[in-house]
Chain A
Amino acid sequence: MSEKKPALWLRIFAILTFLYIYFPILILVIFSFNTQKLNIRWEGFTFHWYGVLFKDSNVILATRNTLLIATISTIVATIIGTMAALALQRYRFPGYSITESALYVPVIIPEVVMGISLLAFFALIGLKLGLGTITLSHIAFNIPFVALVVRARLHGFDKSIEEAAMDLGANELTTFWRVTLPTIMPGVLSGAMLAFTLSLDDYVITYFTSGPGSTTLPLRIFSMVRFAVTPEVNALSTLWVLTVFILLFIGQVAQRRQPAS
């Protein structure tokens, strides 16, 4: 696109859109310091609700669960998904097309449908709903996303470095560990990051596959928003936004340091 300065009306529209995007976040942050419990009018500045937040055992438990589930499901899905991406990118085997298409299904399927189907399935096999079922479900939708991202990054991978490694005396496993994996690592990390985020954020599927006592942060936030709206929710939201901002910022800086392969 040309780099002439864009027209004035375009700039105004863009600024308005940016405001539209950021305004709600700002409101959240500002009102997290509100003294008024009902959070309707601004009354005074306080850190009180942050204090409440840090003592809220439900929230702490939910945070711990969410991080645990996200970590486990990311690790498992990244390993399995990367293997699948390698398989699809390099080999032809019976059942290739079916597998390839089937991999897209969890990406396309409406989350509601996936949620209820897993609920029904767990009920059928008598598996009690809890952190375990949530984790299993998260792995299920994470594998295709990891596979998709890694596969996209595998395009243009130069096989000759693997041949070079084998030529120099490395067997298949050593070649994978010392040469292939380091080379595809940016793609694998991208996939892992995506999986982690999807797991962290997931509401719908978690909603259907969680049991009593196994709550995650999105679920907790939902019930807080639905039933017990106090500025504590704002405090929680503000902290979440801040964490995301910092992590993304670090991610961007790290990306800029390392030139993309």
Chain B
Amino acid sequence: MISQTAQSHPGRISLVKKLRENAQLQGLTLVSPTVIYLIFTMVCPLILVVIISFMTRGHYGDIIYQFTVANYSRLVDSLYLRILGYSLLTAAMTTLGTIFIGYPLAYYIARVPSRQRALYLFLILVPFWTNFIIRIYAWIMILRTEGLLNSFLQWLGIIHAPLEILYTPTAVLIGMVYEFLPFMILPLYTSLEKIEAAQLEAAADLGARPWRAFLRITLPLSLPGMTAGSILVFIPAMGMFVVPDLMGGAKTILVGNLIRNQFLTARDWPFGSAASMLLLVLTLIFTLFYVRRAGFGEELLV
């Protein structure tokens, strides 16, 4: 069979033979489409952004190819540092918020009989598979001055003038926590579910009250889940701009909004690129810090 093909397609046979005998070549061939694609859509664009961040803005919003570090020095201005600090603060508070709300729920699901757990997890996931803009809109409906919350509270007589919740940092926080909740609940649940009942029984047997057992055993053992969840929340929250845009109004600007404005409104691409670089570097630092500590956790994806 081989000799037949060799006679009619000598070129093709040698290529096949080469692939067959060389494992390295097989691997490279399989991975080459990905590599080529990513070079074009990730490596080149990012390099481009780095380059642009060192360029100057022209009068009409174009880019003049003149080297300058002015964009970066502008970033160090207190105004922008405040924006950065504010973004980090918001991300941190979002993370804490998801922990406070998500932990009890994750704990509850982990304690419920196994056959019910799949149902509860399913129910949690359903809303989050809908488009997030829709969900933010729902919150806008609830939180705005003529919205449901205010109408309800006024109807109850608890307040007499509507609360200004929408277009404040509080609204942004509510929206972000809502948005990121499942990213914290799922890893937490995975961690908690793995804790054997026997360990808690042993603690009880040795004299620990339920609260002590929780603090000394359950909490530490759920730490990997909490860490994984924190990364899944904190890092994307840093660069979030949709929620602040829709729910935060003009007063609340985060790094994401800043970058977007620079690119599409102010047309200052060099400055926007510099800000992007800053955000990217921060993201990488936090990610590396986590990965070094705790590995990547692909098992959570499956």
Footprint of B on A, CB under 8 Å?
Answer: 1-6, 10-11, 13-14, 17-18, 20-25, 27-28, 31, 39-41, 80-81, 83-84, 86-88, 90-96, 99, 102-106, 108-114, 116-121, 124, 136-137, 139-140, 143, 147-149, 151-153, 172, 190, 197, 200-201, 203-204, 208, 217-218, 221-222, 225-226, 229, 233, 236-237, 240-241, 244-245, 248, 252
Smallest beta-carbon distance B29→chain A, Å: 8
Structural contact, A21 and B263, CB atoms closer than 8 A: no
- Please state if A106 and B42 are interface contacts (CB–CB under 8 Å): yes
Q: Is the CB of A91 within 8 A of B301?
A: no
Q: Are B132 and A110 in contact (CB under 8 A)?
A: no
Inter-chain contact B48/A197, CB cutoff 8 Å? no
A4 and B302 contact, CB distance less than 8 A: no
Q: Mark B129-167, 1 if CB is under 8 A from A, else 0.
A: 111111111111110001110010000000000000000
Contact of A87 among B27, B114, B195, B299 (CB under 8 A): B27
Chain B proximity of A108: nearest CB distance (Å): 5
Query: Are A221 and B133 interface neighbours, CB within 8 A?
Result: yes
Q: Which residue of A lies closest to B101 (CB)?
A: A17
The 8 Å CB contact of A119, one of B34, B242, B263, B298, is B263
Sample (22) of A-B pairs whose CB atoms are under 8 Å apart:
A1-B192, A1-B193, A24-B127, A24-B138, A31-B141, A93-B28, A96-B27, A102-B38, A102-B42, A108-B284, A108-B287, A110-B279, A111-B236, A112-B260, A113-B49, A116-B260, A116-B273, A117-B42, A117-B48, A203-B132, A204-B241, A225-B136
Q: Would you call A90 and B27 a contact (CB within 8 A)?
A: yes
Q: How far is the CA of A83 from the CA of B136 in the complex (A)?
A: 37
Selected contact of A91 from candidates B27, B114, B239, B296, CB within 8 Å: B27
B125 interface contact, C-beta 8 A? yes
Asked whether, in the complex, the Cβ of B111 is within 8 Å of the Cβ of A3, the reply is yes
Count B interface residues, CB 8 Å.
95
- Bound CA–CA A96/B35 (angstroms): 11
Please give the distance in Å from A113's CB to the nearest CB on chain B.
5
Minimal beta-carbon separation of A212 from chain B (angstroms): 13
Q: Looking at B45, B104, B283, which has the most chain A CB atoms within 10 Å of its CB? A: B45
The residue from A86, A93, A241 contacting B130, defined by CB atoms under 8 A apart: A241
Q: From known contacts A21-B181, A27-B138, A27-B141, infer whether A240 and B130 are also in contact, taking CB-CB under 8 Å.
A: yes
Q: Is the CB of A83 within 8 A of B241?
A: no
Asked whether, in the complex, the Cβ of A80 is within 8 Å of the Cβ of B33, the reply is yes
Q: CB-nearest residue of chain A relative to B135?
A: A24
Interface SS, B side: helix
Are B111 and A4 in contact, with the CB atoms below 8 A?
Answer: yes
B172, CB-defined interface residue at 8 Å: no
Other contacts beyond A2-B201, A91-B30: 18, CB < 8 A: A3-B112, A13-B104, A13-B108, A14-B109, A24-B139, A24-B178, A80-B33, A94-B24, A108-B283, A110-B235, A110-B279, A112-B241, A120-B273, A121-B45, A152-B299, A203-B242, A204-B242, A241-B134
Contact across chains for B130 and A244 when beta carbons are under 8 A apart: yes
Whether the Cβ atoms of A17 and B263 lie closer than 8 Å is no
Which B15-49 residues have a C-beta within 8 angstroms of A?
A: 20, 23-28, 30-31, 33-35, 37-38, 41-46, 48-49
